Structure 1
Amino acid sequence: MMQQKIIVKVEMHCDKCRTKALKIAAAAYGVSKVSIEGTDKDHLEVRGDGVDSVRLTGLLRKKVGFATIVQIEQVKGGNADDGEKPTHTIEWTPLASYYCTPQCPPMYCEVVREYSEPTCSIM
């Protein structure tokens, strides 16, 4: 059984954001272990079998904020803490402006009166 180890960098400003990100990652299909890593606690490490890393990152962007895939490793066996070496590693170096969410153009509405104000001088 080949498991994946996916490291995703997520903007997490507070404990509430971290909890939300952990819940989203834990609910994804195939995930067996989720943890927060990194010195700034901004990396989410997800382990599992058959995890869709692109979909997971998209969900994190939608629900939490900026998220980008840092690294994906194929790990032998169910436990990578045995000192085994990863069999395959993929690393991404994303472009800074590439991961922006599309903005909808602003919508304007204008009040149009059908009849102008009466300008009769007799009244």
Structure 2
Amino acid sequence: MKQKVVIKVAMNGQKSRTKALKIAVGVSGVESAALKGQEKDEIEVTGEEIDVVALTFLLRKNVGNAEVVSVGAAEKKEQKKEEKKEEQKNEPTVHAWHSYPYEIGVTHYPIYHYPEYTDRPDSCPIM
């Protein structure tokens, strides 16, 4: 189940906002992160099985004071889009680049052609 988490973080400038977003995206399960709010002091994180406590702890440790504003299910619009994508993915695919011997498991060896020297029949063809 997709989650939507909003965390309010005390951020001073653009550098701390960038740092907070990098930390948020680095947590396992996070699919996207965005800045929200009038002062861009809230981070909205969406994903599956997000560890909210670990994310808040990392933000407090590296950026500043952080508190969880809300935790809930993601919007249904995103789920509808995913269902449409899954329906399109179920179409059969045809791979036309395989040749006959590879499909049945026969090993194919390359054929080498060596030129014949007719200028001197007594000379060695290797040298």
Moved over 4 A (4+): none
Please give the TM-score of this superposition, normalised by the length of structure 1: 0.61
Is there any run of 5+ residues in structure 2 with no aligned partner, and where? 82-127
Look up the match of 1:4: 3
Which has the greater radius of gyration? 2
Q: How many residues align?
A: 81
Look up the match of 1:52: 51
Percent same amino acid among aligned pairs? 43
More helix by share: 2
Please give the TM-score of this superposition, normalised by the length of structure 2: 0.60
Look up the match of 1:14: 13
Look up the match of 1:114: none
Measured after TM superposition, the shift of residue 58 of structure 1 is: 0.4
Is there any run of 5+ residues in structure 1 with no aligned partner, and where? 83-123
Look up the match of 1:42: 41
CA contact (8 A) 1:9 1:43 kept: yes
- Three-state SS of the structure 1 residue aligned to 2:74 is strand
Measured after TM superposition, the shift of residue 75 of structure 1 is: 2.3
CA contact (8 A) 1:32 1:48 kept: yes
> For each residue in 1:2-35, what CA deviation from the matched residue of structure 2 results, as whole angstroms up to 9, or x when unmatched?
1000000001110000000000000000000100
RMSD in angstroms over aligned alpha carbons?
Answer: 2.0
Look up the match of 1:92: none
Correspondence 1:57-68 to 2 at 5 A: 57-68=56-67
Letter in 2 for 1:11: A
More strand by share: 1
Distance 1:7 1:81, change over 3 A: farther
Correspondence 1:1-123 to 2 at 5 A: 2-75=1-74, 79=78
